[in-house]
Amino acid sequence: MKTNVLKTCLFLAVLAFPLLGSAQITGQNPLMATNKNNGYDAVTGKKPVEQDDLLGRYQVRGWVTDGFYHPGAEIRSIVTGPVQHDGFAANLQLRTGFPDLVTRIAITAEGRVGVGTVDPDFDLDVVGNTHTNGNFFGRIHFDDNLSIDAPPSTYTDEAYFERHQLSGFGTAPASTTVDGGLFTLAPGGASQDHQLFFADDGIFHRREAAAAGSWGNPWEKLLSSGDINGTPNQVAKFTGPSSLGDSHIYDDGIRIGIHTGSPDVNFDVDIKGDTKADGSLTVTGSAFVGSALGVGTLSVPAGFKLAVDGNVICEELRVLLSPSWPDYVFAKDYTLMPLEAVEKAIAVEGHLPGIPSAQEIEADGLQIGAITANQQEKIEEAFLHLIEMNKQLQALQQENALLKERLERLENRN
């Protein structure tokens, strides 16, 4: 009898709750509970709940003009695990929506929270876009938008992570990967949108105006250690549009080598090979040429160290001859060509004996050292002839003086 009275009181309290519009539960450990069973069996008693059973609902309703209360939101719980003899696993769902209520948030028995899903795989699993004004801590899940090349205009004030197929891009990066991670950064305002594609063979970047209807700029690869192959102290160069390798320039901070990795320790710059300068070359110190030097010409005749195609002007020119200077002309055993023989040679050859002809000079050029020595030889020979002529002149003068003296004596006798 007491049990029936208690049930009747509880039933009246439940009926009175919507009429009163408010309720309170007080006590040291207050509890409000709803109990769910699946009916009554005369033999076993109450039938237990089963997996996927709706345990109960709590709705917030409002009166509208059709004469009914309609729900605006609902809290419900569903059995999600096998029912044991001492309990079961269940979730808690928060539902909103119009005209039909839809589960927006679900909390599993394991404590996972799903937004837009009733079966979250992570502690917080969001199906859809998220936004935060504060700090974010934790791991980020990638969406599978494998074949959608969404334009910049679809990203607004967000950072977006997704897995993407290489073939899904309108213009794909120069990669050999099948798919990879795609990170899109859309800062908003006047800033451009940026994308990073993380492929198996590197990271690629592209950017575009935020309101653009498509991605027009090409992908550019970010160089990494896999793209940069080099030798220590060897200056790098681009071996391809997006790769670096060794150049022919060596620089160890002390000396520079071109076409050599072991520059001569005696020089600051060591070049192994040919060098061409189309502009001016200024040397403030000493210049050493080991082989031959051409000025105004790329060809230096064999046997010569310097070739100049053009005029040469200098304040002083010094020629050091390897053979002896023609002082041998003044040796006692030197045979001086008589002037008569010189005269005959000039008459026949048209130039001094031992001096190149005009045809030879035109064909072979003028050898400064040799011609200077030849001219010196002729000058010394000319001086020997002058000395001999001077002796003959002095002898004639003495002879004339004697003859003059004898003539005067004869005249005085008469």
- Residue 21 is predicted with a pLDDT of 58
Of 180, 197, 222, the residue that ends a domain is 222
pLDDT for the residue numbered 51? 97
Whether the Cβ atoms of residue 89 and residue 77 lie closer than 8 Å to each other: no
**Do residues 350 and 357 touch, judged by C-beta distance below 8 A?**
yes
Q: Which of 168, 191, 222 is the last residue of a domain?
A: 222
Give the position of tokens 């119009």.
98
Question: Which DSSP state fits 350?
Answer: S
238: in domain = yes
Q: What is the mean pLDDT of each run of 10 residues along the chain (414 residues)?
A: 40 46 80 92 93 96 96 97 96 97 97 96 86 76 76 85 92 93 90 95 94 94 81 89 85 94 90 85 85 88 89 86 78 91 92 90 85 89 92 94 91 82
User: CA torsion 348→351→353→355, rounded to 10°?
Assistant: -150
Number of domains in the chain: 4
CA distance 93 to 56: 11
**How far apart, in Å, are the Cα atoms of 137 and each of 9, 86, 411?**
51, 37, 148
Return the pLDDT at 209. 94
Cis before 232 (ω within 30): no
Residue 228 domain flag: no
Distance CA 194, CA 364 (A): 72
Structure-token pair, residue 321 = 């001859």
Co-location of 338 and 400 in the same domain:
yes
pLDDT of residue 188: 84
- Both 267 and 212 in one domain: the answer is no
- Is residue 282 domain-resident? yes
Q: Give residue 215's region: left, alpha or beta (phi > 0; psi -120 to 50).
A: beta
Residues 153 and 193 in one domain: yes
pLDDT at 321: 67
185, part of any domain: yes
DSSP character string of 34-92: ------EETTTEEPPP-TT-EEEEEEEEEE-TTSSEEEEEEEEEEE-S--BTTB--EEE
pLDDT at 9: 41
- Quote the pLDDT of residue 77: 97
In a domain, 302, yes or no: yes
Query: How far from 89 is each of 35, 48, 74, CA to CA, in Å?
Result: 15, 14, 20
Q: What is the pTM of this model?
A: 0.44
342 located within any domain? yes
Domain boundary among 222, 256, 286: 222
Q: List helix spans (H) across 72-204.
A: none
Residue 12 falls inside a structural domain: no
Give me the amino acid identity at 361. Answer: I
Which domain range does residue 109 map to?
A: 33-126
Helix (H), strand (E) at residue 362: helix 358-364
Residue 317 lies in a domain: no
Write out pLDDT tens, residues 216-273.
999 999 988 777 778 999 998 988 877 788 899 999 999 999 999 999 998 899 999 8
Q: Quote the pLDDT of residue 182.
A: 94
